[in-house]
Each structure stands twice: as C-alpha cells, then as structure tokens.
Structure 1
Amino acid sequence: MGFRSRFAQLLDEAPEGAPAIEFEGRWVSWGLLQSVSRAIDAILHEHSFGEGTRVGIVLENRPEHVGAMLGLMATRRCLVTLSPLQPPERLSADIERSDVPFVVVSTEMLARPGIRESIEKVGHVIELDPAGRVSVSGASIGSTSTASPDTAIEMLTSGTTGPPKRVRLSDRQFDRSLETSVPEPKPDVLFRNGVSLVYTPLVHIGGLWGAVSALYSGRKIVLMHRFVLDQWVDSVERHRPRAAGLVPGALRAVLDADVPAEKLSSLQVVTSGTTFCPPDLADAFFDKYGIRVLMTYGATEFAGAIAAWTLPMHQKWWASKSGSAGRAMPGVDLQVVGPDGDALPVGETGLLEVRSAQSSAGSGTWVRTSDLARVDADGFVFIVGRADDAIVRGGFKVQPAEVAQVLERHPSVREASVAPFPDDRLGHVPVAGVELVPGALRPAPEELIALCREFLMPYEVPVHVVVLDELPRTPSSKVSRVDLLDAVQHSMLLGKSA
C-alpha cells in the first residue's frame, strides 16, 4: 500500500477518539488530525487547488502540524517544508523564494515580524492554532508556482555546512524507503501495538521519517518539541518501547546523567543516525545498559536510510566491524569510485556512490555522494570523511576529521570540529572549536595547537582554536559549522584565540 493511500485510509477510517499522538502529557486523538486535514483540503478545493499543488508548511513539532502534513500527503499534494527554527528574517526570505500559493503556519509563528507579510506576497495564509482550528486570509494569489505531481515533499536538508537546501522527494522514493524498512500494513488493520518517540525536528528528514514511518505502520507516537532528557526517559519508562533513536549527543547525555538502567530496561536496541557515532560511545552505552547501538547511514536526498545495522548483524559482527555504518539496505547497491569515476577494489577509499529506487535518479543510475568511504569484503560500509570537507590551504588539502581526532586526544576535549576560515593569501585555513568534558580543566588554545603540531603536518594545524562548553549544533544535533565560524570570528575579535 502506498503511503498516500495509507494515510487517506487512516484519515477516513480511524475512530475519532482513537489516540494518535502523546504531546505535552496528553493524548491527541485521530479526530483532531482528521479535522485539520479536512479543513485545509476544503480551503484548497474552494480556491481550485487540487492534486499536485505545492503547499508550504512552517512545520513545527506539534500534533496539529502532523495532521496538516498527513492531510496534504493523503490528498496528493506536495509539501514544501519551511523551517520554524530560522530567525524571522531568514524564514521570510525562504517563504518568498518558495513561491507557493498557500502557507500553513501556526498562530504563534504568524505573530513574528514579517512572516504574514512575506506569505501574503506570494499567496494565502492558512493559520493553524494549537486547538487545531483553521482559518484562511490573504486577498490575492501572487504565486507563479506550478503543480508538482508525483512529488511528495520539497524537503530541507539540515544545513550543517551552509544554508539549508531544498530537495524534491518523489512518491516513488517514499514508497520504496517504507518498503525496505517498515512492515507492510494489512489493508484491514488500522493500528498495531507499540509507540515511537519523536523528538528531532519534523522539518528535517530524521524527525519527519520517524513520524511518517510510525503512523504508516499504525503505531502511536510520543511527540516532543526537542530532546529533553527527563522527558525522554519518562516516556521510555512509561511506554516501554523495544527500540528508540538517539543521536550521539543524546547518547552522551544519557550516559553523563547516569540514568538508572532499570528505567531503560525495555530497550533492546537504540538506533543512531544524523552524524557519525564514535564506536567507543556506542560501546560505553552497551557496557552500562546492555543496549546495542545500531548505526544508520542516509541522507535527505535518499528519503531516509540506505545502510544500517540490524540486531543479528550487530551480535555477529560488531567486534570486528565497529565504526561501520552497517550494510546496504535491501534494494540498495553501494560502490566506491576514484577521481576518474572508475570503481575501486574492495577495501579502498574513495567517493561513495549509491544505486537505489530511493534515489531521485531511479534504481538504474549510480548517484555520487560527497562522502569518502570504503566497503569491505563483507559488504560493510565505513564512512571516513566528506570529499567536500577538504580544506584547501594554499594548495594543500586538510581533512577536518583528521584534525578533530588529534584535538580529541586531549583528556579535557569531548568533541572537536574543524571548519574552513577564509584567508586572503591561502584561500582557506583550518580553524577549530572544542567541546569540553563536563567538569574538566579548561585547556588554553595554545596547548591544543601544540598538541596538533605534535601529530599533524604544519599546514594541517588550525590557526585558531576556540574552547567552548558546548559546540553549536543544528536542530538535528550535528555541529553547525556556520555557527562555529561565527564563534571563532568573535573569539578572534576579542583576542582570545591563538
């Protein structure tokens, strides 16, 4: 069953009183999701905007927004996601660039400076309040947007290395991704047991996939605004799921808080994606809780994960394959190529290419990623860096991951991140930020640079290091290099960096 048909079935047939989403300590029923979906559909039909219409949504982690999202999917329209996490000025510019005839937006977000005005430049405001009430305003349609049939979502990437970009994900990509990772729902069964915890932003692929895959399969979800340790632990303890997702930063938070093992006793596995999870962190989690951490690898462009660990794989292979992102998922082929585009022998490092129906290019075409990887003889893929991460310093290439690994040798450094800083003479130079272990002695930047000089080539040594209690992160918990560069520049201006 395709995802659009499945959501249409749920919105048509689910009993109004059936619980769908736990949010802020209360259950929201399918009735609210149905009423939001029908109200938005009625507005669009009234203005003669049917299937394929591009509809913007400032997508927040709220139940009524889930209802709007499911309704647009069920009625075969195209979601254009707009991030509520942006400052108002950036969001306004993104709305105007999106050129959509309607934007679904919360009452609270609409009160921010410039948001209403930007929407009304291109189309109508569909206002959605916390109770699920829907209203429309705007005198004219200024959008020149054309329909986008067979496009499920125009989805924002996370913006780790620069401004987020929007990619088109087709119906086929979503259907294929669900086929490979979620049990096929039976036509005569609406719901199944189990609860999924969703705390990452719905506006990014990790959060959206968590909600979509759970509801597609018939599970209820616990929806949080963001990861809050006590809320997450309480939800696990009450609902006793067998599996949950934790990004590396959240794994560290659980360990640092010394959460009692009995509170997490229902969990058999934890999946970890969005960014590289250090093997020693996964091992520490397993040693303390007996819960295996299963890494996944994917991207917005592939509508989710394309490689992953399973529990049986982990039990058999982890000791010899730690650090791997797992094996290709069913229907996915992986290969590694050199600079000339030719496939490299097993075990050699090069650019990772993917062939899958989850790709916009289809199942017959290899799509090149920006990731440097190797695939071993047993099919396990190891991501070793990003080709576009290389910092070219006066003609010499610097791999940020290698510099970060040296900085992380310091006992006070929990995590390091390296970014390119513009330089008039050399093009770019490496700079770094480090996040400290809680309670550790604060090293001087000079001490960290001396450590780098000990293990790195001269051109690899960062010219500035800023010491932080916490590295700046995107909502998906990746280090934001854009904000890191701002922190470094601020530190340089204050004369505090080396």
Structure 2
Amino acid sequence: PINPLLTPAQIADILAAANSRILVTGGPGMSYDVYEKAKAVRDLYPALQTLVVVGEGGAGAVDFSSGIRHQPDNHLISGRTIQEDDPSVCFHTGGTTGAPKLTPQSHRNQLFTAWTCGVFFDVRAGDRMLTGLPLFHANAAITTGLTGFLVGATAILCGELGYRSKDMMGDFWQIVARYRATTFVAVPTIYAALLDQLPDDLDVSSLRVAGCGAAPMPVELLRAFEARTGVRILEGYGMTESGVSTLNPRDGERRIGSVGVRLAYQDVRPVILDSEERYVRDCDVDEVGVLLLKGPNVFSGYVGARDNGNLWPMPGWLNSGDLGRRDADGYIWLAGRAKDLIIRGGHNIDPAVIEEALQHHPAVEIAAAVGRPDAYAGEVPIAYVRLTPGAVVSEAELVEFARQRVPEGPAAPAEVVIVPELPLTAVGKIFKPELRLDAVRRVYARELADLPVSVRTRIDDKLGIVADIHCPAGWRDLARIKGRLERFAPQHFIVHDPDDAA
C-alpha cells in the first residue's frame, strides 16, 4: 500500500525499491488525484507493466472488476505455494528525508499480530470495527482490518480520507451510533478532537473498547475521554516493523501512562547501548534504556541492506529506537524516541514530562516539546500547543504554568508557542521534525532580526537541520552573520546571495 499524498516521483521510487510490476489505483475523480498520479508514475517508472484501475480507467489500464470475475469468492487462484515466512506486504515507513524505507512483513508476522490483537481486544464475530486511520498504514491494515476478518467481524471504513476528513470527524459519533461500532483505534490528537464534539444526547454505548497507539496518550486526556464516554481505552505500543508488542490488560490492572505489558510469545527488553548502538547490558528495574523487541511479530529487516545497519544489537533482537523502562511488575513506560531527547547542558530531558505538564492546563488541547538551539546549554526545551476551541490564554501564562509543574528545573520550557494546528503525519502522529525546523528558524531569525536577511530551514540528508540565510541584493555582511550564529554550533547555516539557486 502507498500513501496517496506522495508525489509521483516518490511513488515511482517506492515501486522501484520493491521491484513492483503492477500498480492498483482508483479511477478518475477519487481523492488526491490518484489516477492522474498513477499515469504519471507509469511514465517515470518504465518497469511498470500493468496498471489496474478500480472504477473507470483509461486506455492501457486493466479493469479491476473484470479481473476478479474469474476468481472464486472465497480465495484467489494465483498458482503460488505460499509459505508462512514469504513476504505478504511491504509497508513504507516515513523518514524525514529521501525515499521512505520499505518494511516487509511475512504472512507469519501479520497473522500473529492479528491473532494477538483479536485475543487481547476481545474481538468477536459480529463486532463492528471502525477504521479511520489510513489504509496504507499497518495499524489500519492489521489491527482494525485483518484482526476482524480472522473472526468474522465487520469493518466500517470511514471513507477515502478517514480521520483526515473534517466532514467525517464532524460525523464520527453519528457514525458510531448509526452503525453500532464496537471498537476503534486512534492516536492522541484524534481523541482530543473527538472529545470536543461528543453530543450529550447520542447513544454510543455499543463501543466496548478503544485502542491508542503511535504516541503516548496524555493522562488527563485519557481520563477525560473515558469519563465522558465510558469507553475503556487500552494504550499499546508497536511499530510497523514489529506489529503490536505491548498492551494494557483489558480485564486486569491498567496503569495509565504506561503502554502495558508484553504480549504472548514475544519479549520487550530495555537495554543500554554504547555510542555505536552495540549491546552493553540490560537495564535495571525502572532504568530507562533503548527497547529491544523479539518474537514472531518482528520483521526480518528492511528491503534495502543499507537501512539495516545497527538494527540488531543482539541476534534476533530489533532495536526499536524508542526509549522506555520496565517497572517491577513488567509494565513498559515509554520515555520518547531516542532522537526526541532534549539534551540541555548534558542533562537528558524527556519531552513527555513537559507535554504532560502543559496538558493539565484547561486551555491546552495537545502539546509537543522539542529542543531549541541554545548558545550556552546546547539546546533548551520549547513547547508548541494547540488550544481547545474558544480558549484564551497567553504564551507567557503557559510558560509559567509549565515551570511550576515540571518535575525538574531544566525541563521547564524556555518558550511556549501557540499554533492553530500541529504538524501531523499521515496517521495523525505529531511530526516533530517540522517543529524542530521551526524552533531553529525562530532562534536564527531572532538573532538576525536587525539585519536585512530572511531565514529558512530545511533538513539535509547529511547535515541534518540547515538554516539558509538569504541576503538582499547589494548586502552581504558575512562576518556579522557568522559572529552571531557560530556560537550555536553544531547547528549548520549557509549564507546565500540573491542569485543563489537555494
């Protein structure tokens, strides 16, 4: 499955990496102009042999409906003998630069994850699983897709756009009530939006349980949602590379703020790695380390060999890149992505403690914290917040509010920025690289405010975040610019004249 928001060139790169020969797409008139993109891909990727169109297509395309008329209604005749470890699908996982990595899952990986989700979410024949996450994502395809198909449940598909459709989000609770949905899965930003629009007079009692993943759920948001709806939310943890690895018990003790315990037949292991990401030792109880994952749910590696470096610190153990700790009872508590840590003068700060503090403010709907360059400390925390509809509060008030509630002084945000929307990935997870770009731009623009220059930021494949300083015609005072910005090393900046292509 491919993200339809990608450009034809990006789609062509994915097809080439997967050695694909067939592309299936929607016909004219579908969202994101997928048919037009598919035709453009055919020109960019000569190895594409067949274009299959669902709906009306043009010349040179195969009609999907005509093709399936020759197939039985309960299985496909392919001529293949499929083994459990054969690749079943390749998901593309998002990076911040370059082509996305291809993540193959075997039939064993997918069936095990679907079976596990079915058992722990108590999915039954006759259930109605609402799917609002994009279908090119593993969560929708397996957690609320294959899981239900295994037991004979019904899938409620929320249109082509799902949660990304404002109309669908506005009708979400009416959809639940009308179709008597029993289960859905979403991310924290979606829960925050849904809580604001739940009608008081609507019967949504069909919902038994809901899942939350992709990012930690703010404790106050979880409590408010459950109190208002009566729906039990199970927080879990997983990756495209590993399916679902942990989940809070459905019937046992949930520990709000944790992502639960490891699921059957798999393991989660917090460890200490060295600077080369090699195994050093296991973590003590409640000691934060990198989470390693193992089990029949874990994939065998990316399609491109170059993407597999440092992926396996120990044989069979996948380096998740996530930080977490395991308490004395086996519950896993996430501490952010290893790359999300804010390092202030050598002091490691978990952005979640800042986000949780701000989440307690009644005007804050959702918050995200990142590091901002600082000449003295290397970086300091900065937070971005989206307010609840109609709320009024100043950025200075939120800074003071957070300062009084974070558990340690260095974690207090130096700045809080109120924004109308936070940047999101295709599945609704907050996209922190874009916030880091904005944080760097703000610092450099502030330092150069009295100079006739403009500042833009971007991500470079080799250098990371780069600030482009654009000078006007006839003005270029490189010494003044360097004198103000070099103290923010190792941040990179490039000074451009008006005629530069950049």
Q: Which has the higher helix share?
A: 1
Task: Tell me the residue number matched to 1:128.
Answer: 53
Q: For residues 43-62 of structure 1, what are the structure 2 equivalents within 5 Å?
A: none
Could you tell me how far apart the structure 2 residues matched to 1:343 and 1:452 are?
Answer: 33
**Mapping of 1:281-292 within 5 angstroms?**
281-292=221-232
* Residues 82/332 of structure 1: CA separation in 2 closer, same or farther (3 Å cut): same
Structure 1 residues 423-452: Cα deviation after superposition (integer angstroms, max 9, x where no partner): 8998766543221122111423x5555666
2:1 matches 1:85: no
Q: Which amino acid aligns with 2:418?
A: V
Corresponding position of 2:455: none
CA contact (8 A) 1:96 1:119 kept: no
Structure 2: distance between partners of 1:232 and 1:126: 34
Distance 1:88 1:465 in 2: 37
For residue 233 of structure 1, the aligned residue among 147, 150, 173 is 173
* Aligned equivalent of 2:127: 194
227-236 or 487-496, larger mean C-alpha shift: 487-496
Give the equivalent residue in structure 2 for 1:153: 89
Q: Report matched runs for 1:101-180 at 5 Å.
A: 101-107=21-27, 108-112=33-37, 115-130=40-55, 136=61, 150-159=86-95, 164-180=100-116
SS in 2 for 1:352: strand
- Match in the other structure for 2:500: none
1:413 deviation in Å?
2.7
Distance across 2 between alignment mates of 1:453 and 1:287 = 28
Range with greater deviation from structure 2 (192-201 or 152-161): 152-161
Which amino acid is 1:412 matched to?
A
Identity of aligned residues (%): 26
- Is residue 2:244 matched to residue 1:310? no
1:84 is displaced (CA, Å) by 0.7
What does residue range 358-437 of structure 1 map to in structure 2 within 5 Å? 358-361=297-300, 365-392=316-343, 397-408=348-359, 410-420=361-371, 430-437=381-388
Q: Which amino acid aligns with 2:25?
A: V
What's the offset of the Cα at 1:127? 3.5
Give yes or no for contact 1:466–1:491 (8 Å, CA) kept in 2: no
In structure 2, the CA distance between the partners of 1:492 and 1:305, relative to structure 1 (3 Å rule), is same
Alignment of 1:265-304 (within 5 A): 265-302=205-242, 304=243
TM-score, normalised via structure 2 length? 0.67
* Paired position in structure 1 for 2:433: 482
Root mean square deviation of aligned Cα? 3.9
Deviations 1:116-156, CA, capped at 9 Å, x for gaps: 3555333234131336999638xxxxxxxxxx981111212
1:67 matched to which residue of 2? none
Task: Tell me the equivalent position of 1:203.
Answer: 136
Q: Is the 8 A contact 2:87 2:105 kept in 1?
A: yes
Indicate if the aligned counterparts of 2:91 and 2:137 stay in contact, CA closer than 8 A.
Answer: yes
- 1:311 aligns to what SS in structure 2? coil
Higher mean Cα deviation, 455-464 or 403-412?
Answer: 455-464
Write out per-residue CA displacement over residues 281-305 of structure 1, whole angstroms, 9 at most, x where no aligned residue. Answer: 2221222222211112111011x21
Question: Are 1:351 and 2:290 an aligned pair?
Answer: yes
Give distance in 1, aligned partners of 2:201 and 2:447. 42
Structure 2 unmatched ranges of 5 or more? 28-32, 63-82, 274-278, 302-313, 450-502
Q: Is the 8 A contact 1:110 1:116 kept in 2?
A: no
Structure 1: runs of 5 or more not aligned: 1-80, 138-147, 184-190
Equivalent residues of 1:92, 1:118 under 8 A apart: no
After superposition, the C-alpha distances for 1:92-128 in whole angstroms (9 at most, x for unaligned) are 5444554422222333413149833555333234131
**Amino acid across the alignment from 1:178:** A
Aligned equivalents of 1:118, 1:460: Cα separation in 2: 51
1:54 aligns with none
Q: Which amino acid aligns with 2:136?
A: V
2:189: which partner in 1? 249
Kept after mapping to 2: 8 A contact 1:465/1:497:
no
Q: TM-score, normalised by structure 1?
A: 0.68
SS where residue 483 of structure 1 aligns? helix
SS in 1 for 2:190: helix
